[in-house]
Structure 1
């Protein structure tokens, strides 16, 4: 059975009585999953809400364990890497990865960065060989499709936009996903949230339509 790994990273919930308190990016994620599953019922969805269940930050002990040869690790090192191993297995098994991410301070939420830090490991997601010269890192995984659904309070973060130079969200994520085995990357998002005007409403509706169109394209 094929699998979708669905990662939410907003700290907001989706069940607040005041609609403006709810996460837009998480709502997009549910909209994508509902659209996808209506067409592909055989997919199994693995879901993680990083906002409500944050990953651990990596530590000195984590780094030491990650770089220690696997056959030399003891029980303590295995415990330190347990969360990382679990996240990696979920990524490795996924055919499609769905990440939803609001823009926080022009970048990704800290919980999403922590998730990437847990997964990016030598011998797991990449190999390191100085025989390759100045570019010694190569991804291990391949063949995956990733969909990134975003929301931002301001606008103009896309190519040619007035805030393109301030966008440290999607370019960063796109670069990192190479090491998740992603060969096909798609991004859809809404803007203008802080303005709460017709432009925001139109942006959200366009994003929903783009999600439907994307599901038709790749589903």
Structure 2
């Protein structure tokens, strides 16, 4: 059975197709999950709403604990890492990660940055050995066959590679770098543009994104492990 991790990072409540000023990324991620459930109704889907309840930012105690070997950790260290451990466990269990991450001021929302800082964990998602031959860092999830779907929304247009604003896009490139560092390099990106204009260009962008979502689900659902019979 395939396990899906659904992450919403928008600060906007609700979906843009159901309420005024709702979130486009929540709309896209919900449609992705609805289509996935239609094709694979027995798969397990975990949901985390980072936009409404973001993880705690890492602290000095967190860093001290994370870089202390597990057998040597004191009780307060395990407590400092408890939330991070839950987030890492969710990520490790997932085969497909749906990350609905809008562009805020050219980058990811603060809550999703906190999420990233909590899942990039030495000894759990990446390895480090300063005495290792070659690079001292290595990804720990390379053999896990995980697939990341990034669903984003932007106020203007031209942020894709080759576009006039591609240099200012620090969402998809950043997430590709972070998750690639962990060993997740199967990545698909779908984005809505022209949000600030709210005209026919936005409507067309939404239509294109929804079509791409249906295509992505059809392709991905057909290539992952078969669902368990009900």
The 2-side partners of 1:170 and 1:91 are apart by 18
In the alignment, is the contact (CA less than 8 A) between 2:176 and 2:185 conserved in 1? no
- Taking the aligned partners of 1:93 and 1:46, their CA distance within structure 2 comes to 10
What CA distance in whole angstroms lies between the structure 1 residues aligned with 2:119 and 2:52? 19
Q: SS of the counterpart of 1:19?
A: coil
TM-score, with length taken from structure 2: 0.91
| Change in CA separation of 1:13 and 1:180 when aligned onto 2, cut-off 3 Å | farther
Do the aligned partners of 1:189 and 1:207 also contact (CA within 8 Å) in 2? yes
8 Å contact from structure 2 (residues 54, 111) kept in 1: yes
| TM-score, with length taken from structure 1 | 0.95
* In 2: Cα distance, 1:22 partner to 1:97 partner: 22
* Pairwise CA distance, 1:16: 8.3
Deviations 1:78-134 (A, max 9, x none): 110000000000000001000001100000001001001001111011111234456
Distance in 1, matches of 2:200 and 2:150, equals 24
Instruction: Answer whether contact 2:4 2:96 (CA < 8 A) is retained.
Output: yes
Structure 1 unmatched ranges of 5 or more: none
What residue number does 1:4 align with? 4
Structure 1 position 167 matched with structure 2 position 144:
no
SS at match of 1:97: strand
| 1:90 and 2:90 aligned | yes
**Are 1:157 and 2:159 counterparts?**
yes
Is the 1:141–1:179 contact (alpha carbons within 8 Å) kept by the matching residues of 2? Answer: no
- 193 and 125 in structure 1: CA distance in 2 versus 1, 3 angstrom threshold: same
Equivalenced residues, count: 219
Tell me, in whole angstroms, the C-alpha distance in 2 between the residues paired with 1:35 and 1:166: 32
Residues 198 and 56 (structure 1), Cα distance of their counterparts in 2 relative to 1, 3 Å cut: same
Is 2:119 aligned against 1:119? yes
CA distance in 1, matches of 2:163, 2:180: 25
Equivalent residue, structure 2, for 1:206: 208
What's 2:63 paired with?
A: 63
> Does structure 2 retain, via aligned residues, the 8 Å contact 1:150–1:188?
yes
Q: Residue deviations 1:117-168, cap 9 Å, x none?
A: 0011110111112344563211111310110000011110001101000001
Asked whether 1:218 is paired with 2:220, we answer yes
TM-aligned CA deviation for residue 177 of structure 1: 0.9
CA distance in 2, matches of 1:72, 1:89: 21
Is the alpha carbon distance of 1:132 and 1:185 closer, same or farther for their aligned partners in structure 2, counting shifts above 3 Å?
same
Q: How does 1:122-137 map to 2 (within 5 A)?
A: 122-132=122-132, 135-137=135-137
Question: 2:3 touches 2:93 (CA, 8 Å); kept in 1?
Answer: yes
